[in-house]
Each structure stands twice: as C-alpha cells, then as structure tokens.
Amino acid sequence: MSFLSTRRKASRIMLELDDVHLGKLLKSLRTTMRSGAIASTDLRAVQIADFLKHHSQDWDRRTFRLAVLAHFLADTPVPSRWAEREPDNATALALHAWSELFRARATGNAEGVPRARRNCLRAADLAPPDPTPWIVLLETSRLERHRASETFYVWNEILLRDRWNREAYLSMMRYLTPDEAGSRLQVLEFVDSLRSRMPVNVPCTATELTSQVLHYRSIRTRRGLEGLMARNYWTDVHVTAALDRALHHWTQPSFLSHAAALADLNTLAYALTSADRHREALPVFQAIGGAVTTWPWRFEGDPLIAFQRAQNRAQASR
C-alpha cells in the first residue's frame, strides 16, 4: 500500500480493496456470469478453487478473500455447486456456509443457516488448523442467538488458530453489543482488554475504532436531545485518544499490512469526518486512494457519494 502519492484517484466501491489478484478474479467471474454459458457455474468454481490455493496458510489474507467471495457469490449457485462437487473440500464447504450467512442477513431468511453450521463443522474436521470454519461458526452463533457458553467456545477455537484475526474480533465485538447479546459495558471491557495486550499493527487493530463508530451511530438514531448531541461523542477524552492513536500510526508508510487495511482506513476517515477533523482526515483519504468501502459510509446514504463529499471537505480544509 502506497502512502507517497498525492494524486487523487477516482473513487469507487472496491470489494477487493488493494488485492490486485482478487480484483482480477472478480472481474473474470463477472465476465463468465454475463456470458450465460451453461457450464459457467462449474467454470467459476474451478477458477475460485485454483485461486484459493495461493496464500492458503496466510489466515488473514485467506479469511479476507473468502469473505469477499462469499459476499460476491451469495446470490449465485456457485458456492453450493462447488460444495456438492467436492463434499470433502474444507474450503468449498466454508465458502458455501459463509455465502449462506450473507444471504440470510440480506434477505432475513435463515433457512440455510443450519446447513451452513453443518458445513462448518465438517470443514473444521477436514482442516483442523484452519480458523475459517470457526469464524463462520461464530457468525452462525450470532445469527441463531446461541448461548454464551457455546459462542465463547467457538471464539476460543478461533484464537487457538489465529490469535489476531480481524474478522473474528469484529464479529465478537458485535456479539457483545446491546443489539445482540451484551451491553455497552461488555464492549468496553472487551476493547480495553484487547488494547492492553495486542501489538498495534495486527489485523484486528481497528476493533476499538469500529466499536466507537457503531456506538456513535447508535446515539445518532436516538430521539430527543441525546440524538441531537451525538456529535459531542467525538470530544470524549477516551474516544479522542483512540482517534489520535489511529491517526498517528495507521498513516505511516507500511504500518498497516493486513489484507483489509484499506477498510480500516475508511473507518478512520469516516470517524475523523464525523468529528469535524477534516484537515486531519486528508492524509487518510490520500492513503485510501480510490478504494471505497460500503461500511461505514452507507450510514450517510449512498456510500460513494458520502465518501466523495467527505473527501472534498478534507481537500477544502487545506
């Protein structure tokens, strides 16, 4: 990731972020989808299987790629077709399970979630070192509102395999929110515990900032004076300190090297914009380039328009 160029790139929603190889695969998959060929489903499954052989032991990169592909393919028969063709392939089973969960969250229809859970358990048996089936199991536990003991069991299995997995920490943090199975206090305790023991540049480094954005959004949706005063949230000393830490570290060249680094920088740019720290957001936008993420910009309407508006404010603040 380059932080040296000041040239402003055209912004667009990029599922792949700066993963060039993943971007090429998504482009190829779109092409085969448009072709309408009878064998295109099997062809896409072969393409994906070949692609995922690379970086197979880089759990951070692998988790990111599987999550993007599961989201991209959620409305297609590709994941289920691949899993049917290769029922003993742990990667195929995990991708199918994750795509089922994306579809369930998007449609509100959880019919496929029990099947996703079975596929995860089978994948975990087939590939014991792989944290991915357990990460997807954590998602199913959240969706099905499993007991805390079961959810924490899954959580511990993930930590045994990938200590700082970004997707897992963000998922667990959301599980602990008042909207799911916890409270604001539990989120704060979770974040404080994480901050006290994690290296500052691990993949899950944005867990605290993500929790703050979620809480800010929660306050903004409240009625009355509390909702109107939501902007003051960013003046809290602890929140400001977290923003300052992220701004200081994350924009340093090569400091963030994990697969979803640009997604975390989008979160930082959103937080700084929400705090009216537009000038300080400028180097963050420069680091992002044109790779826009839907979350959290969708909170302000059309994500791309919201990003561009915030970027323009940062430019004008110079």
pLDDT digits (tens, 9 = 90+) for 172-207: 999 999 999 999 999 999 999 999 999 999 999 999
Q: What is the dotted CATH code of the domain comprising 37-162? A: 1.25.40
Encoded tokens for 180: 């799911």
185 Cβ contact list (under 8 Å, min separation 6): none
Helix (H, G, I), strand (E, B) or coil at 292: strand
Average pLDDT of the segment spanning 66-94:
95
More confident residue, 10 or 21: 21
Q: Which amino acid is at 312?
A: N
Whether 5 has a pLDDT exceeding 50, the answer reads no
> Which residues 6+ apart lie within 8 Å of 311 measured at CB?
8, 11, 269, 285
Distances in whole angstroms, Cα of residue 53 to Cα of each of 40, 58, 60, 206, 223: 20, 11, 14, 28, 50
Distance CA 4, CA 1 (A): 9
Query: Each residue of 96-154: pLDDT tens digit?
Result: 999 999 999 999 999 999 999 999 999 999 999 999 999 999 999 999 999 999 999 99
Count other C-beta atoms under 10 Å from residue 230's C-beta. 17
